[in-house]
Structure 1
Amino acid sequence: MQKVLIVETNVTRYGQTNDPTGLWLGEAAEFVDELQRANIEFDFVSPKGGFVPLDPRSMKYTDDEIMRIYESQDFVTRGLTNTMTPAEVHTEDYAAIYYTGGHGVMWDFPNDQPLQKIAQTIYQQGGYVTSVCHGIAGLLNLRDADGQYLIAGKKVTGFTTAEEIIAGKKSVVPFLNQQVATSHGAVFQKKRFYKPYAIADGQLITGQNPFSVRPVAKLLIAHLQEAS
């Protein structure tokens, strides 16, 4: 089954502040666009299910393709207003799981055990665990069948500390993805800030920043097509 599970955040604000955040729109929309072009099915899940807020800053970085997805009824219904809960997911249906970003994920992705179980099962059944930008937060605490961190010894990338500083959020986020990934044994790779970069290492496929969505999608699609 070449079907992909897309994970999105339910978090509406930066911690205890009134500063709004949420899903970075392009990190879902561009990925969906690539899957549609490859005729690969997909579903959406979030930690709580239901509503997914959009990071307002992400609306400044749209193009025709992003807006086409954003304005589609399917994306609005399944991807923004009525996402599945983890309990509704039939893990055996998916060949891959993809963690989107937006700063909101820093609060609800890392320690969500139902999502971790889904990702671990997909990985153990030979599927791919993928992320882009802050979405790597969902990978940081995943463990393999032996209890070791899934990213240990693996080449991965995600939103870097330098990019967090440039974004002006280093003092607001609860941790730094690059720092935690490294402390959990990952071989963290990066390119110049805000440049597209994606890397595959076995069943892990990760992208550095919001400009890396399509490279991540293309890598995943290539692996899925090769396996089919």
Structure 2
Amino acid sequence: MFKKYRILKWSIISILSIVLSLFIFGWWFMGLLPSSENRKDITITQASDLPYLSKNTIPKRGKILAIVTSTAIMGNTDKSTGYELTELSRAYYVFQANGFEVDIASPLGGEPPVVIDDEDMGLYDFAFLNDREAQYKVKHTIPVDNVNSELYEAVFFVGGKGAMFDFPENASIQSIVRNLYQSDKVIGAVCHGPAALVNVTLDTGRPLLKDKKVSGFTNDEELLLISDAKNIFPFLLQDKLEAQGGVFNEGTMYLENISQENNLVTGQNPWSTWKLAETMISQLGYTPKYREITAEENAVKVLKIYEEEGSDEAKELMNRIISIEKKPMDRILIAKHGIIAAMQGKIGKFFSLVGLTSDAKNISEGMRN
């Protein structure tokens, strides 16, 4: 009896110790993230506040069509979906800053459903929400059946899981892609946006994607977030792109990665949007206008070096960006990748990325002191 009591006692002590340790670690981990107290309120940002848009404006060069999903619910589930706001807003302003007027269309027309992830919102995204002209366009989208593709120099398919349901079988979308591609105009798509390309056949009878390098949301990215994705979606995007003859270019999970085959430009995930949109501008024959790189993009640079070369090299790059170049660093994104590593059971990588997050905080605070 006494032995059982002693075992129970030490079991309780062990559990309490683990809980306390987790609490202390969680408290310390949250302390690595920027405090909201001293942060500027970016929710009120206007397009006119952004030098990229308001200074050194470029004369009109033509029009680009952005297409978003009209799907609000994922298949037979009760899970809401729509287009990803950050993927539209950032590309929209790249196109606009580089002299292109942007029209927005959707399969059904009117106001499409939107996904807004508060943690990913930045200056450009809030500026888009506060932009009357942009909001009018996105709330009154053109039905794709009514689109005259001859008016546009390029089409850009915005991601969002809803695209998996209403892009692939849409005959008007297929016609827009085929007509523009065969006219040597530019086709762009990011994240789930490449679902628009999977059933496009050229006038030669050859699938558009046949033997072309292509990127899109990967199976690993999809299944980590939605374990039953195979039962929810009509297909997994990576599988379908490969089945249609595409040569799938898979980059690191949740980091920037694009593919280009002449006038076909595709991106893996939301973090690929900036580079994809500017690559489209280059393919249209123009040098992209100078733009201050965002804190998120700087964090992506560090994370890519971490994946390719290791933590020491990543810390060295981070120190150079923050201390020497005096550029902002989004350490929340670095911390998120630590959490992703933990979700994958990669505990060593989790602690390594937590250490990198801590380094980012120390370097930033050292600059202020």
TM-score > 0.5, shorter chain as reference: yes
Aligned to 1:193: 253
Aligned to 2:215: 157
CA deviation after TM superposition for structure 1 residue 225, in Å: 2.8
1:71 to 123, 130, 153: 130
TM-score of the aligned structures, taking structure 2 as reference length: 0.59
1:125 equivalent in alignment to 2:183: yes
2:194 to 124, 136, 141: 136
Q: How many angstroms apart in 2 are the aligned matches of 1:217 and 1:3?
A: 14
1:60 to 101, 106, 119: 119
Aligned to 1:173: 233
Amino acid at match of 1:29: S
TM-score of the aligned structures, taking structure 1 as reference length: 0.94
1:225 equivalent in alignment to 2:285: yes
CA deviation after TM superposition for structure 1 residue 74, in Å: 1.4
Aligned to 1:98: 156
Amino acid at match of 1:84: I
CA deviation after TM superposition for structure 1 residue 123, in Å: 1.0
Q: How many angstroms apart in 2 are the aligned matches of 1:55 and 1:179?
A: 24
CA deviation after TM superposition for structure 1 residue 91, in Å: 1.2
* The structure with more helix, counted as a fraction of residues: 2
Unaligned runs of 5+ in 2: 1-60, 288-369
Q: How many angstroms apart in 1 are the aligned matches of 2:154 and 2:85?
A: 20
Amino acid at match of 1:178: Q
Unaligned runs of 5+ in 1: none
- Bigger CA radius of gyration: 2
- Quick check: 214-223 or 69-78, which moved more? 69-78
1:112 to 170, 179, 193: 170
What is the percentage of aligned positions where both structures have the same residue?
30
Per-residue displacement from partner, 1:168-219 (whole Å, max 9, x unpaired)? Answer: 2524222111101111111110110001011210111000001000110010
Name the SS for the 2:125 alignment partner.
helix
CA deviation after TM superposition for structure 1 residue 226, in Å: 4.2
- Quick check: 172-181 or 151-160, which moved more? 172-181
CA deviation after TM superposition for structure 1 residue 18, in Å: 1.5
1:9 equivalent in alignment to 2:69: yes
Aligned to 2:110: 50
Task: Select the structure with the greater relative contact order (CA < 8 A; seq sep ≥ 6).
Answer: 1
Q: How many angstroms apart in 2 are the aligned matches of 1:74 and 1:173?
A: 34
Q: How many angstroms apart in 2 are the aligned matches of 1:53 and 1:177?
A: 21
Q: How many residue pairs were aligned?
A: 225
Amino acid at match of 2:187: V
Contact map agreement 1:2 1:224 (CA 8 A) in 2:
no
Aligned to 1:146: 204
